């Protein structure tokens, strides 16, 4: 674990303060004194089926390995060091973190192969990044950069006895992060050549706006075209004497497409471990719904009121589920439609299932969008094959948005 002593005067509403609080969070599994059924959980409760989680991890690993690619799963999906360690044990080449705080949680739990996939430019955050960088060569902590400001910040902040790897983030059309200019790219790499503390590792390219395109062939066409557009930059790097150890990107929505990119070394898949309704709604190469991975994550809710026949209210609303476009889905009972009824509640339209749910019953729902839903909860309640909960895993990265 990371040990940092902060002067009393810095413990204010600042980056140092939230950093010190994050270091105090427990990350190890918590064993219950006695197993409980899902119906006994304090709902709304985030339920994770261990056997399905394991199967999803192994399925993705095996698919990518057969295509000659590594998997670098994204912890922004689960925000949980326990799960990150399971992915590493399964053969991941490393894990991704979207934000510095997520990376701190992972490093503090003992993980040493991490890629921070968003640039960091603020001085206070760069100072914290330096604090958590291990000494010596026995680590593989990396970060993406896309500007000279970001590189100069690293050079100013990283101690002379420490080192960090960098990947340059390249953008084609998403216009969120990344650079496009060849001149800027070469300027960054030439400056990196002049220091031993910063090691150029390779290139990141992520086309997140393509992950949920509801036409598989269009998804394939656009993703492969984006990678092909980058080919000129790779050739320019080679002519300039720069080689890429890592070329990383992609995601769950393009996992079986981007493996066709020869230069790609590994994929940053995230949602595949849990699955959600937004992903299940898009077609795959052969199916109208994305069923190649099985939902392992659900939110258990209790039916608490029934003011009207044919409808029943559960205790999970926007504070239990996050949704960009779709509603939670009940796989357990056919014909039940969930509708949000505010922050605290959801209303189920029962249809032909009118008698199947009673006040007091606990019902589980596949999440609309798994990543932000996870960020609403403190724990995963781990459902084992005996259909009981024996432990919970802390979601250490909950609220880690800095």
Say if strands 311-314 and 297-305 run parallel, antiparallel, or are unpaired. antiparallel
Whether residue 149 has pLDDT greater than 90: yes
Strand, coil or helix: 6: coil
At 139 the pLDDT is: 84
Whether residue 177 has pLDDT greater than 50: yes
Please compute the mean of the pLDDT values over residues 151-166 and round it to a whole number.
96
pLDDT band at 3 (very low <50, low <70, confident <90, very high): low
DSSP 90-119: TT-S-EEESSHHHHHHHHHTT--EEEE-S-
Residue that wins the pLDDT comparison between 39 and 137:
39
In terms of C-beta density within 10 A (0-12 exposed, 13-18 middle, 19 or more buried), how is residue 309 classed?
Answer: exposed
Report the share of the chain in percent with pLDDT over 70: 96
CB contact at 8 A, 366 and 51: no
Report the share of the chain in percent with pLDDT over 90: 90
Give Cβ neighbours of residue 37 (< 8 Å, ≥ 6 apart): 387, 388, 389
Give the predicted TM-score (pTM) of the model: 0.95
Alpha-carbon gap, residue 188 to 145, rounded angstroms = 9
Whether residue 15 has pLDDT greater than 90: no
Please compute the mean of the pLDDT values over residues 118-135 and round it to a whole number.
94
Q: How confident is the model over 358-396, as pLDDT tens digits?
A: 999 999 999 999 999 999 999 999 999 999 999 999 999
57, 376, 268, 364 alpha-carbon torsion, rounded to 10°:
40
Selection from 338, 294, 346, 287 nearest residue 320 by Cα = 346
Give Cβ neighbours of residue 210 (< 8 Å, ≥ 6 apart): 219, 222, 223, 226, 253, 254
Please compute the mean of the pLDDT values over residues 47-64 and round it to a whole number.
98
Q: How confident is the model over 249-264, as pLDDT tens digits?
A: 999 999 999 999 999 9
For the beta carbon of residue 296, count every other beta carbon within 10 angstroms: 24
Helices H, strands E: what count in the chain? 12, 17
Mean pLDDT score of the chain: 94
Whether residue 232 has pLDDT greater than 90: yes
pLDDT band at 12 (very low <50, low <70, confident <90, very high): very low
Please, what's the b/e burial string for 62-79 (b: 16 or more CB within 10 A of its CB; e: otherwise)?
Answer: ebbeeeebbbbbbbbbbb
DSSP 237-261: HHHTT---SEEEE--GGGHHHHTT-
DSSP 313-335: EES-STTT---SS---B-SSSTT
Whether residue 275 has pLDDT greater than 60: yes
Please, what's the b/e burial string for 21-33 (b: 16 or more CB within 10 A of its CB; e: otherwise)?
Answer: ebbebebeeeeee
Q: How confident is the model over 311-364, as pLDDT tens digits?
A: 999 999 999 999 988 999 999 998 899 999 999 999 999 987 666 899 999 999
Give Cβ neighbours of residue 352 (< 8 Å, ≥ 6 apart): 335
CA-to-CA dists, residue 331 to 42, 279, 286, angstroms = 21, 15, 22
Helix axes 100-108, 123-132, angle to 10 degrees: 20
């Amino acid at each position: 674990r990371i040990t940092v002593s902060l002067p009393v005067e810095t413990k204010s509403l600042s980056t140092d303060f939230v950093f010190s609080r994050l270091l105090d969070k427990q990350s190890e599994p918590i064993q219950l004194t006695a197993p409980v059924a899902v119906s006994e959980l304090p709902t709304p409760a985030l339920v994770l089926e261990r056997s399905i989680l394991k199967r999803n991890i192994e399925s993705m690993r095996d698919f990518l390995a057969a295509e000659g690619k590594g998997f670098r799963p994204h912890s922004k999906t689960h925000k949980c060091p326990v799960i990150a360690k399971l992915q590493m044990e399964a053969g991941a080449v490393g894990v991704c973190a979207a934000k510095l705080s997520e990376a701190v949680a992972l490093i503090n739990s003992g993980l040493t192969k991490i890629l921070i996939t968003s640039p960091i430019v603020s001085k206070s955050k760069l100072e914290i990044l330096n604090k958590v960088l291990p000494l010596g060569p026995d680590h593989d902590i990396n970060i993406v950069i896309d500007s000279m400001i970001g590189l100069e910040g690293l050079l100013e902040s990283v101690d002379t006895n420490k080192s960090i790897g960098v990947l340059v983030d390249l953008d084609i059309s998403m216009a969120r992060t990344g650079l496009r200019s060849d001149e800027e790219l070469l300027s960054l790499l030439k400056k990196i050549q002049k220091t031993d503390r910063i090691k150029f590792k390779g290139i990141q390219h992520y086309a997140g706006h393509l992950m949920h395109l509801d036409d598989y062939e269009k998804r394939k066409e656009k993703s492969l075209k984006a990678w092909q557009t980058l080919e000129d930059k790779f050739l320019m790097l080679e002519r300039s004497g720069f080689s890429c150890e890592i070329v990383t990107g992609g995601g769950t929505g393009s996992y079986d497409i981007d493996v066709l990119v020869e230069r790609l070394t590994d994929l940053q898949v995230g949602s595949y471990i849990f699955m959600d309704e937004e992903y299940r709604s898009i077609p795959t190469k052969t199916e109208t719904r994305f069923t190649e991975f099985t939902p392992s994550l659900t939110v258990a809710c209790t039916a608490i009121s029934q003011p009207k026949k044919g409808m029943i209210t559960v205790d999970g609303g926007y504070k239990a589920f996050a949704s960009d476009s779709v509603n939670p889905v009940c796989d357990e009972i056919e014909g039940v439609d969930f509708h949000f009824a505010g922050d605290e509640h959801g209303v189920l339209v029962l249809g032909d299932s009118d008698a199947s749910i009673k006040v007091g019953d606990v019902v589980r729902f596949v999440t609309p969008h798994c990543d932000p839903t996870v960020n609403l909860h403190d724990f995963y309640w781990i459902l084992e094959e005996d259909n009981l909960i024996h432990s919970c895993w802390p979601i250490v990265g909950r609220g880690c948005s800095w």
